[in-house]
Chains A and B, each alone.
Chain A
Amino acid sequence: MKNNRTLISYAVGFLSSIGLTLFAFWVVTYHILDGWSAVWTILALALVQCAIQLFFFLHLGSDTRPRWKFLSMIFMLVILTIVVVGSLWIMNSLNDRMMMTPKQMTKYMDNQAGL
């Protein structure tokens, strides 16, 4: 029965998404990990949950060949990575070269605000 199988797949997606959300929340609010290890952990959890929802809710992968949906998503991800990683790289490098952390920059701008 096709409908029953889809119902089960929705339920699996729903329950595992709840689990992953609560797990990420638990890691952060109870200080299980801290610093960058926590950041990488919750980002990984978000990516897993994203993949689960794409598969179970948006039925990615049920595409027939050629997989245009999948291909257009890969193309989007390449551009997304360039935009996000590129922005962070350039802006952080710019901050470093001006030898100011965002906090120092804020202080600097605060001093200039009266001008």
Chain B
Amino acid sequence: MNDTAAIPPLDHAAKEKTLFGFWVYLMTDCLLFGSLFATYAVLHGNTFGGLAAGDLFNMPVALAETLILLTSSFCCGLAMLAVQAGRKRQALLWLGFTAALGLTFLTFEIREFAQLVADGDSWARSGFLSAFFTLVGTHGLHITIGLLWLGVLVWQVIHRGFTKHVVRRLTLFSMFWHFLDVIWIFIFTVVYLMGALRI
């Protein structure tokens, strides 16, 4: 294992193009989430006699989820610094932290969903809950896909090292992961904090 091998030089223009293409995908994903946020904002009062957001959600858990995802995003950034420095073991360590924190976040979310469904507050209960499960569930689905992607990348780093293609994929993954954290800021604010305000 060559731990400090320098990254081979990249074709700069081609890499810039790929990164920009992925950025455009992220922008379209923003529009997807934007329409789900609009749906939630319109439907959040339509509880059909059931509990509203302020009575349903556990705020400390939501705060914990937020901080876990934020830390995961930070670890992903540190992993990218290690990748740029060509430090394989360090990069794998930080990617491991990123994955572990992402998995913890997902576990919290699945438990929250399971609890809601067990209490009879599933997506079929009201317009508000349909919008909630769609919005937060879509984010959770993105996180799940991100974790699978990260698993494949870790495998590639171990077996192939920092080749041109692996480094490019890692860069794209880090953009995706930071982006998901940005989306979560708004879910935390609009769904959980504004729910607790009972507006």
**Given contacts A45-B189, A76-B31, A87-B42, is CB(A14)–CB(B70) below 8 Å?**
yes
A 1-40 to B, binary, CB cutoff 8 A, 1 in contact else 0: 0010011001001100110011011001100001110110
CB distance from B112 to the nearest CB of A (A): 17
**Which residues of A lie under 8 Å from residue B78 when comparing CB positions?**
7, 10
Q: What class of interface size applies to chain B in its complex with A? A: 35 or more
B 1-29 to A, binary, CB cutoff 8 A, 1 in contact else 0: 00000000000000000001001100110
Check B56 for interface membership: any CB of A closer than 8 A: no
Check B41 for interface membership: any CB of A closer than 8 A: yes
> Once the chains are docked, how many angstroms separate the CA of A101 from the CA of B45?
9
**Which residues of B lie under 8 Å from residue A69 when comparing CB positions?**
20, 23
**Which residues of A lie under 8 Å from residue B117 when comparing CB positions?**
none
Q: CB distance B178 to A28 under 8 Å?
A: no
CB distance from B9 to the nearest CB of A (A): 16
Of chain B, the residue at the smallest CB distance from A102 is: B45
Tell which of B39, B63, B179 touches A25, judged by Cβ atoms closer than 8 Å: B63
Tell which of A34, A35, A110 touches B49, judged by Cβ atoms closer than 8 Å: A110
Q: A39-B194, A45-B189 are in contact. List 10 more A-B contacts (CB 8 A).
A: A7-B81, A17-B70, A46-B185, A53-B73, A53-B178, A76-B30, A83-B31, A83-B35, A87-B39, A88-B41
Classify the interface of chain A: helix, strand, loop or mixed: helix
> Once the chains are docked, how many angstroms separate the CA of A14 from the CA of B73?
9
Q: CB distance A57 to B23 under 8 Å?
A: no
Tally of contacts, chain A with chain B, CB under 8 A: 121
Classify the interface of chain B: helix, strand, loop or mixed: helix
Tell which of B20, B73, B81, B186 touches A50, judged by Cβ atoms closer than 8 Å: B186
Q: CB distance A3 to B70 under 8 Å?
A: no
Check B38 for interface membership: any CB of A closer than 8 A: yes
> Once the chains are docked, how many angstroms separate the CA of A25 from the CA of B58?
13
Number of interface residues of A (CB under 8 A): 49
Check B175 for interface membership: any CB of A closer than 8 A: yes
> Once the chains are docked, how many angstroms separate the CA of A21 from the CA of B193?
10
Tell me the residues in window 50-100 of chain A with beta carbons closer than 8 Å to chain B beta carbons.
50, 53-54, 57-58, 68-69, 72-73, 75-76, 79-80, 83-84, 87-88, 91
**Which residues of A lie under 8 Å from residue B45 when comparing CB positions?**
101-103
**Which residues of B lie under 8 Å from residue A50 when comparing CB positions?**
182, 185-186
Q: Can you list 13 residue pairs at the A/B interface with Cβ under 8 Å? A: A10-B74, A14-B70, A14-B71, A17-B70, A21-B63, A43-B189, A53-B185, A79-B31, A84-B34, A87-B39, A91-B42, A101-B45, A102-B45
